[in-house]
Structure 1
């Protein structure tokens, strides 16, 4: 072992320029590898935060659930939080309006999970109040506080059964 050490030290002393260039190369390549790793982790974190902001923060969505099955799913192992949303149907904001909006019903956890943020006004405090998207307000002549009445159409399947609510859940 001493022979290898003495040969290495002698080589390094005789070739100082090559030794310095090699050490600088090792430092630069290590910095490059660490930088690429940091960029990858940062990009992944950015994509996760962007997805949560755009689509909501949940891990699973269950569609067409019967009301009897909701407690079975929400009390299952691995689910720490859950929220309910139900599509009530589609309606026009104005009678002569050509645009249709989808009417959905959310519980309190769904507002938080879908990352719904208000620009103006407040969240509904009863079942007679709604939240409209900024786009819907622009397309109609409505303002915050106006009264709106809807003719909501129910969606049914081929058998004539109405659609139940959607449930989404968080994992532990």
Structure 2
């Protein structure tokens, strides 16, 4: 039942030589031309003029938008954009890659500790007090970042930024400890 394919093909080639009937190619090309006319057929004059009119409308629309969309001259817009780019606040990461690692570590730790805090009706007042303190430290951090941007990096500003991050993290650790103490006290009274 199983036959070697190579032998089967050799025997088949020797026995039969298949050829196309005479005139087959000519009939095929004629039929193909009748079914699919040439793509280079001329566009009718009506469609030609409509395509030109549509192109003119598009060009006029783009020109109108570019000229009348902005009341400010282009030069002023470019200057304002450049000034805004120069005014962006610098962070510790802009000073050095090592300081960026420190900043990322503290910010990730702060966010992680904050996400672990579970606020209940019993500890909401305590939590809100700590959030107010964290917000004050965050505002101070923004002021220090502005100072870093204005005056450039110096030892005092960099140390103050790192100390601010440390204080925020320590504040969250204290909050976590006080919440655990509050939770343990409430469980003992029950």
TM-score (norm: length of structure 1): 0.25
For the pair shown, the structure with the greater C-alpha radius of gyration is 2
Structure number having the greater strand percentage:
1
Structure number having the greater helix percentage:
2
Higher RCO (CA 8 Å, separation ≥ 6 residues): 1
